[in-house]
Amino acid sequence: MVYSRLYLLMVAVLLGGCQPVTVQRVDGPVPVTVRVDDAAYWLEEWHRTNTLSDDQLLMALQTREQEFARAATVRSGLRLALLLAAGPKAVRDQPRALTLLKDLDLQHGEDSARALAAVLQQMIEEQQWSTDRITELRTSLKESETRIQELERQLQELTDIEQTIQRRD
């Protein structure tokens, strides 16, 4: 009797940890069901690459590229895209990761793979938007500084002319 209650409690706890998750995207919610072990796999994959040295990272990148070239599966593509999108600077190539993510056939992937692809794609697009916006603002700032310098120069010239006129009088 005690064992059956314990068994039911363990089953309830186990099933409670596998509840569906919704990933919010810019163009609406994407409901997915993610098993804890899938999410843990992708987090571990990301964490493992962030602790590697630059030489090890370059070797990992080459290995993942070869794996993807041999078998262009969703999982091998995501492993490569994750490294390119969220890896350390030595191997980060977000435009390439975005292209790779858009080319993946996610219809045949697991729910966790689709969720990760959605998150990575949104992250890359938002960072690209931020970078473009910063570039625009820097350009605008430079133009404003140039205009200020020109106005200050004109003001100085007018001040000089005014002083010259006052000395003549």
pTM of the model: 0.62
157 Ramachandran zone, left/alpha/beta (phi>0; psi -120 to 50) = alpha
pLDDT tens digits, 141-164: 999 999 999 999 999 999 999 999
pLDDT tens digits, 23-59: 444 455 555 554 555 667 777 777 788 888 888 888 8
| Mean pLDDT for the chain overall | 79
Q: Which residue's structure tokens are 């843990």?
A: 40
Q: Which of 99, 89, 65, 96 is nearest to 79 (CA)?
A: 65
